[in-house]
Structure 1
Amino acid sequence: MFYCKRCNKTFDMEWETIWDMQELTHGYVGYHLYDTYICCPDCGELAEALEEPGPNPF
Structure 2
Amino acid sequence: MYHLIWRILPGPWPAKLVMALGLIAGAVALLWFVAFPWADPYLPFNDSTLDVESPES
Structure 1-normalised TM-score?
0.28
TM-score under structure 2 normalisation?
0.28
**Larger RCO (CA under 8 A, 6+ residues apart):** 1
More strand by share: 1
Which is helix-richer, 1 or 2? Answer: 2
